[in-house]
């Protein structure tokens, strides 16, 4: 793809606020709220200016985003690609991902020229050869922009696979202008863009026929890919489904998720538990185990997406469906997309949550071990808020701005007022706390 590109005048890089802000600090799951070091910025800026004067061709950028394989990290990478596209629509942008993540999402983004799924997938670095996996990927680009986590010692210690991959990547890639980190400049980057996945038309038609015209359509994913103790029990989900059905007459519940174990992320819920939850719904359809893009077509047809914290929620936002998150477990919701959402945040004084990398709270007994923030007692306490939020999202009575304004002060309270523990994609939280 790097040979003989069409001749155009490359856009000049101009410094923006993002390129001159303070050096970053690491937050939470490795997201940094800032840009590279001053010396790195200056070197890249000088190279960009020189390159702009000397070249008459399309500039090629690779977002080199190898990380853990949950769907949310693929959506994160797409958002970075979109930010660079917004900064310069003449850039030719490609994306590299862990081959075990949702690489097919790149095909739904017309601003991405090519998505490279590398066949090195072990986050813990136990097997595979990253150098061999990178050989099919072109070596020379104008810009190579790595996941920021690749520069963070705690991440490299946590995940030897991340260390091994990025060491191989630095041996493999050559950047004509700058080898930096995603979200930094150059080239120009415009934060907080809304990602809108363009799903295949035939999948949308099929989902429309299956979902029908129920007055309220709720996409439901009862569990993500972590251990079952991090999610509500089947009995708690029965309680939730019955309460929603009573408050939203005629509601249809659409079950999404993946039971098949094939090396990609899959739900930790069992078929028996999902059948039990579905039996509590007056009307239900199943998209379980359909291909990812087809499941997203079902979600796109729904009034809202309901789940605990899961990366799939960010994909729901990317098809324009509001996300109602039963928040809790180690991580808070941190990637938003210009689409309304509501996170039901637990009282962390009684139901500890958001521990991030720290030790997890002792489990409670609730149809097996359960993290306190996903216990039946917590669900019962927060059920009125969840039902009210579902109604407001389904009726379109909550705007994105209202959602952000409501969320971050409550999240700050959940962290006991410690703003240093809050992180978000493109640092959107900074305007609200």
Regarding whether 158 and 227 lie in a shared domain, the answer is: no
Regarding whether 217 and 143 lie in a shared domain, the answer is: no
Regarding whether 286 and 169 lie in a shared domain, the answer is: no
Regarding whether 95 and 49 lie in a shared domain, the answer is: yes
Regarding whether 215 and 330 lie in a shared domain, the answer is: yes
Q: Is residue 305 part of a domain?
A: yes
Q: Is residue 192 part of a domain?
A: no
Domain that residue 28 falls in: 17-181
Regarding whether 133 and 46 lie in a shared domain, the answer is: yes
Q: Is residue 278 part of a domain?
A: yes
Mean pLDDT of 60-84: 97
Regarding whether 206 and 175 lie in a shared domain, the answer is: no
Q: Is residue 191 part of a domain?
A: no
Per residue in 189-221, pLDDT (tens digit) is 999 999 999 999 999 999 999 999 999 999 999
Regarding whether 266 and 167 lie in a shared domain, the answer is: no
Regarding whether 397 and 257 lie in a shared domain, the answer is: yes
Q: Is residue 193 part of a domain?
A: no
Q: Is residue 410 part of a domain?
A: yes
- The residue from 121, 151, 181 where one domain ends is 181
Per residue in 129-168, pLDDT (tens digit) is 999 999 999 999 999 999 999 999 999 999 999 999 999 9
Regarding whether 140 and 221 lie in a shared domain, the answer is: no
CA distances for 59 relative to 46, 89, 90, 394, angstroms: 16, 11, 8, 43
Lowest mean pLDDT among 19-33, 132-146, 251-265, 373-387: 19-33
CATH code (residue 421): 3.40.50.2000
Q: Is residue 34 part of a domain?
A: yes
Tell me the pLDDT of the chain averaged across its residues. Answer: 90
Per residue in 170-190, pLDDT (tens digit) is 999 999 999 999 999 999 999
Regarding whether 213 and 167 lie in a shared domain, the answer is: no
CA proximity to 234, closest of 385, 384, 376:
376
What is the number of domains present in the chain?
2
Q: Is residue 187 part of a domain?
A: no
Concatenating the DSSP letter of every residue in 321-360 gives --EEEE--SS-------SS-EEEE---TTTS----TTSPP
Per residue in 93-143, pLDDT (tens digit) is 999 999 999 999 999 999 999 999 999 999 999 999 999 999 999 999 999
- The residue from 132, 150, 181 where one domain ends is 181
pTM recorded for the entire structure: 0.89
Q: Which residues touch 232 (CB under 8 Å, ≥6 apart)?
A: 222, 240, 308, 326, 370, 374, 376, 379
Q: Is the pLDDT of residue 5 over 50?
A: no
Regarding whether 100 and 26 lie in a shared domain, the answer is: yes
CA proximity to 324, closest of 335, 311, 337, 340:
340
């Amino acid at each position: 793809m790097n040979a003989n590109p069409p001749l155009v005048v490359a856009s000049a890089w101009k410094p923006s606020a993002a390129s001159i802000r303070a050096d970053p600090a690491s937050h939470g799951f490795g997201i940094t709220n800032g840009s590279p070091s001053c010396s790195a910025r200056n070197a890249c800026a000088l190279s960009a200016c020189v390159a702009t004067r000397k070249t008459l061709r399309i500039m090629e950028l690779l977002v080199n985003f190898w990380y853990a394989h949950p769907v949310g990290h693929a959506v994160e990478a797409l958002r970075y690609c979109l930010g660079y596209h917004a900064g310069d629509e003449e850039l030719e942008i490609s994306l590299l991902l862990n081959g075990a993540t949702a690489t097919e999402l790149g095909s739904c983004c017309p601003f991405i020229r090519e998505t490279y799924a590398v066949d090195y997938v072990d986050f813990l670095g136990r097997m595979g050869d990253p150098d061999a996996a990178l050989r099919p990927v072109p070596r020379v680009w104008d810009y190579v922009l790595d996941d920021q986590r690749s520069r963070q010692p705690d991440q490299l210690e946590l995940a030897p696979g991340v260390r091994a991959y990025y060491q191989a990547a630095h041996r493999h890639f050559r950047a004509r202008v700058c080898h930096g980190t995603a979200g930094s400049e150059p080239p120009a980057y415009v934060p907080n863009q809304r990602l809108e996945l363009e799903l295949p038309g035939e999948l949308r038609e099929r989902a429309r026929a299956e979902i029908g015209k129920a007055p309220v359509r709720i996409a439901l994913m009862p569990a993500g890919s972590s251990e079952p103790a991090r999610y509500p029990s089947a009995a708690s989900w029965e309680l939730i489904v019955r309460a929603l059905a009573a408050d939203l007459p005629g509601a249809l519940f659409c079950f999404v998720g993946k039971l098949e174990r094939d090396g990609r992320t899959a739900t930790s819920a069992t078929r028996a538990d999902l059948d039990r939850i579905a039996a509590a719904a007056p009307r239900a359809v199943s998209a379980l185990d359909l291909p990812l893009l087809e499941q997203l077509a079902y979600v796109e047809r729904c009034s809202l997406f309901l789940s605990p914290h899961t990366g799939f929620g960010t994909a729901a936002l990317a098809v324009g469906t509001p996300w109602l998150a039963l928040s809790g477990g180690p991580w808070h919701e941190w990637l938003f997309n210009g689409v309304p959402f509501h996170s039901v945040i637990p009282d962390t004084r009684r139901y500890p949550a958001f521990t991030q990398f720290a030790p997890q709270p002792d489990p409670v007994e609730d149809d097996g071990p359960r993290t306190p923030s996903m216990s039946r007692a917590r669900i019962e306490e927060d059920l009125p808020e969840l039902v009210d939020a579902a109604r407001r999202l389904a009726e379109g009575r909550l705007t994105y701005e209202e959602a952000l304004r409501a969320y971050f002060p409550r999240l700050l309270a959940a962290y006991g007022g410690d703003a240093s523990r809050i992180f978000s994609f493109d640092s959107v939280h900074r305007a609200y706390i």
